[in-house]
A and B are shown apart, each in its own frame.
Chain A
Amino acid sequence: MEAQKLQKKVSVSIKINGKVYTADVEPRLLLVHFIRDVAGLTGTHIGCDTSNCGACTVLLNGKSLKSCTMFAVQANGAEILTIEGLAKDGELHPIQKAFWENHGLQCGYCTPGMIMQAYWLLQNNPNPTEEDVRKGISGNLCRCTGYQNIVKSILAAAKEMRGR
Chain B
Amino acid sequence: MLRKEDPRLVTGTGSFTADIKLPGMVYVRFVRSPYAHAKIKSIDTSKAKALKGVVAVFIAKDVKLNPVPTAWTIPNADLKIPKYYPLAVDKVRYVGDPVAVVVAEDPYTARDAAELVEVEYEPLPAVVEQEEAVKPGAPQLYDEVPNNVAFTWRLSGGNVDAAFASADVVVKHKFVNQRLQPTAMETRAVVAEYNASTDSYTVWITSQNPHVHRLLFSAILGVPEHKLRVIAPDVGGGFGSKITVYGDEALVVYLSKLVRKPVYWWEERSENYHSSTHGRDHVEYVELAAKSDGTITGLRVKVYANLGAYLSTAAPGVPTYLFALMLSGCYKIPNIQAEVVGVLTNTSPVDAYRGAGRPEASYLLERMVDLLSRRLGKDPVEIRLKNFIQKDEMPYTVATGLTYDSGDYAAALKKALEIVGYEKLREEQKRRRNAEKLLGIGISSYIEVCGLGPSKAVRGTGFGLGLWESATVRMHPSGKVSVYTGSSPHGQGEETTFAQIVSYELGVPVEDVEIIHGDTAMIPFGMGTYGSRTTPVGGGAIALACRELVAKGAKIAAHLLDTRVENVVFDAGRGAYLVRDNPQRSVSIQEVAIASYQADRLPPGVEPGFEATKFYDPENFVFPYGTHICVVEVDAQTGQVEIKRYVAVDDCGVHINPMLVEGQVHGGVVQGLGQAMLEHSVYDKSGTLITASLNEYAIPTSVESPKIESHFIYTPSPHNPLGVKGVGETGTIASAQAYVNAVVDALSHLGVQDIQMPLTPERVWRAIHRS
A-to-B contact residues, CB < 8 Å: 3-4, 7, 26, 28-29, 33, 36, 40-50, 52-53, 55, 82-84, 86-87, 92, 96, 99-101, 103, 105-112, 115, 130, 133-135, 137-151
Contact in complex: A45, B9 (CB < 8 Å): no
Contacts of A138 in B (CB 8 A): 701-703
Contacts of B268 in A (CB 8 A): 46, 49
Contacts of B186 in A (CB 8 A): 45, 47, 107, 109
Q: How far is the CA of A53 from the CA of B237 in the complex (A)?
A: 14
Bits for B315-342, please: 1 = Cβ < 8 Å to A, else 0.
Answer: 0000000000000000000000000000
Residue ID in chain A nearest B271 by CB atoms: A49
Interface SS of B by simple majority: loop
Q: How far is the CA of A138 from the CA of B8 in the complex (A)?
A: 24
Knowing A106-B663, A144-B667 are in contact, say whether A50-B12 is a contact too (CB < 8 A): no
Contacts of B742 in A (CB 8 A): none
Contacts of B707 in A (CB 8 A): 130, 148
State which of B402-410, B445-453, B487-495 sits at the interface with chain A.
B487-495
Pick the contact of B493 from A40, A87, A106 — CB < 8 Å?
A: A106
Contacts of A99 in B (CB 8 A): 6, 10
Contact in complex: A149, B666 (CB < 8 Å): yes
Contacts of B492 in A (CB 8 A): 106
Q: B197 in the interface, Cβ–Cβ < 8 Å?
A: no
Knowing A48-B693, A83-B12, A86-B11 are in contact, say whether A148-B52 is a contact too (CB < 8 A): no
Contact in complex: A92, B185 (CB < 8 Å): no
Question: Chain A nearest CB: distance from B628 CB in Å?
Answer: 13
Question: Chain A nearest CB: distance from B12 CB in Å?
Answer: 2
Contact in complex: B184, A151 (CB < 8 Å): no
Interface SS of A by simple majority: loop
Q: How far is the CA of A48 from the CA of B691 in the complex (A)?
A: 13
Contact in complex: B108, A26 (CB < 8 Å): yes
B-to-A contact residues, CB < 8 Å: 2-3, 5-14, 16, 18-19, 21, 51-52, 107-108, 112, 183-187, 234-237, 239, 268-270, 490-493, 659-660, 662-663, 666-671, 693-695, 699-703, 705, 707-708, 731
Knowing A103-B659, A107-B490 are in contact, say whether A92-B10 is a contact too (CB < 8 A): yes
Contact in complex: A41, B12 (CB < 8 Å): yes
Contacts of B187 in A (CB 8 A): 47
Contact in complex: A4, B666 (CB < 8 Å): no
Contacts of B8 in A (CB 8 A): 108
Residue ID in chain A nearest B705 by CB atoms: A147
Contact in complex: A151, B2 (CB < 8 Å): no
Pick the contact of B185 from A55, A100, A130 — CB < 8 Å?
A: A55
Residue ID in chain A nearest B239 by CB atoms: A143
- 14 further A-B pairs in the complex, CB-CB below 8 A; given A143-B184, A147-B705: A36-B19, A42-B19, A45-B236, A49-B268, A50-B694, A92-B10, A92-B11, A103-B2, A107-B235, A109-B236, A141-B694, A144-B667, A146-B667, A146-B731
Contact in complex: B237, A107 (CB < 8 Å): yes
Q: How far is the CA of A145 from the CA of B51 in the complex (A)?
A: 44
Q: How far is the CA of A150 from the CA of B236 in the complex (A)?
A: 16
Q: How far is the CA of A55 from the CA of B700 in the complex (A)?
A: 15
Question: Chain B nearest CB: distance from A155 CB in Å?
Answer: 12
Question: Chain B nearest CB: distance from A38 CB in Å?
Answer: 11
Contact in complex: B9, A105 (CB < 8 Å): yes
Contact in complex: B702, A147 (CB < 8 Å): yes
Q: How far is the CA of A86 from the CA of B9 in the complex (A)?
A: 13
Knowing A50-B693, A111-B10, A141-B699 are in contact, say whether A103-B663 is a contact too (CB < 8 A): yes
Q: How far is the CA of A15 from the CA of B186 in the complex (A)?
A: 27
Contact in complex: A115, B669 (CB < 8 Å): no
Question: Chain B nearest CB: distance from A90 CB in Å?
Answer: 10
Question: Chain B nearest CB: distance from A23 CB in Å?
Answer: 13
Q: How far is the CA of A6 from the CA of B559 in the complex (A)?
A: 79
Pick the contact of B663 from A50, A143, A149 — CB < 8 Å?
A: A149
Contact in complex: A112, B12 (CB < 8 Å): yes
**Nearest 5 pairs of A and B residues by beta carbon:** A43-B12, A109-B236, A107-B491, A108-B9, A146-B670
